[in-house]
Amino acid sequence: MEIITSVKEIQKISFCLRAEKKQIGFVPTMGALHQGHISLIKECKKNNDWTIVSIFVNSIQFNDQNDYKNYPRPLDNDLNICQELQVDTVFAPSLKEMYPEEFLTFVNVEKLSSNLCGEYRPGHFEGVATIVTKLFNITNPHRAYFGAKDYQQTQIIKKLVRDLNFDIEIIVLPTIRDENGLALSSRHKYLSQEEKKQTYVLYKSLKKALSLLDKNIKDPKIIIDQINKIIVKEHLANVEYIKICDPVHLSDLKYISNEALIALAVRFEKARLIDSIIWRKN
């Protein structure tokens, strides 16, 4: 496995792979790898000749500087995981390599970035869209893999690929959860044991929403109220938002007809968790 830190070098590698007609798969991560990342890497390995994993804690997508400073960076362990999975190339650049002085260009996917997490994390999706655009230009993959846990992010990336004419297939894979239904995230290490016990309410409340919809309860207000009731029972959980949106446009729905995204963000003392689920009429 090669570990590359320079933009020029990885661009050269991908240029040569393409000349050899190799299919390149790409998995962007911020490291602190867990089973969610591992499922993306395994799927990428299955369907491509060459797998590139990037590990880069993208400073410009953090709206909270403490969150950036404290974000876990267990690089050696991450490299071991990649090695075991037989990743071909890890791209782990420095901050300076990605954002040299006088960096002035940002990518903003309008509308899709404004609702849901965009409302509570100003600048976050601009940071995401900018780094993903840079990484796509640098690694030049045929396919790129993302997790459904970050549903809004996947919609934004699909849109930027279309709008900026990237010839890249975006593959979205299901959310990996622990035995209590909690969607895995690198930020879980911030949770205390007591908090961890209470996190099961996120998925539980989403499943309750699905069952209400299956019973033909179609008023978002009623469903949101039910979700909220379940979550507030756990005293360490503070709801940031619970929303029911159109899965494509991410606008709030006033009435649910054929499909809906039910999405939520819940804060525990040091960790902000997100989860979501899609409901479709049978």
* Chain positions contacting ligand ADP, by CB under 6 A: 29-30, 36-37, 39-40, 146-147, 149-150, 175-176, 183-187
Give the shortest CB-124-to-ligand ADP separation in angstroms: 11
Q: Which is nearer to ligand ADP, 224 or 272 (CB)?
A: 272
Q: Which is nearer to ligand ADP, 72 or 236 (CB)?
A: 72
DSSP letter at 253 equals P
Give me the residues paired with residue 144 across strands.
Answer: 26, 170
Cα 31 to chain centroid distance, Å, stands at: 12
Give the nearest residue (CB) to ligand ADP: 147
Give the shortest CB-38-to-ligand ADP separation in angstroms: 9
Q: Which is nearer to ligand ADP, 50 or 56 (CB)?
A: 56
Give the shortest CB-216-to-ligand ADP separation in angstroms: 30
Give the shortest CB-107-to-ligand ADP separation in angstroms: 17
Please check whether residue 260 is in contact with residue 267, taking contact to mean a CB–CB distance below 8 angstroms: no
Positions marked catalytic: 37
Please say whether the dihedral angle defined by the alpha carbons of residues 204, 206, 207 and 212, taken in this order, is positive or negative.
positive
Q: Which residues contact 25 (CB under 8 A, 6 or more apart)?
A: 44, 45, 47, 48, 50, 51, 52, 141, 142, 143, 144, 145
Q: Which is nearer to ligand ADP, 99 or 228 (CB)?
A: 99
The strand pair at 89-91 and 2-4 is best described as: parallel
At position 2, the amino acid (one-letter code) is E
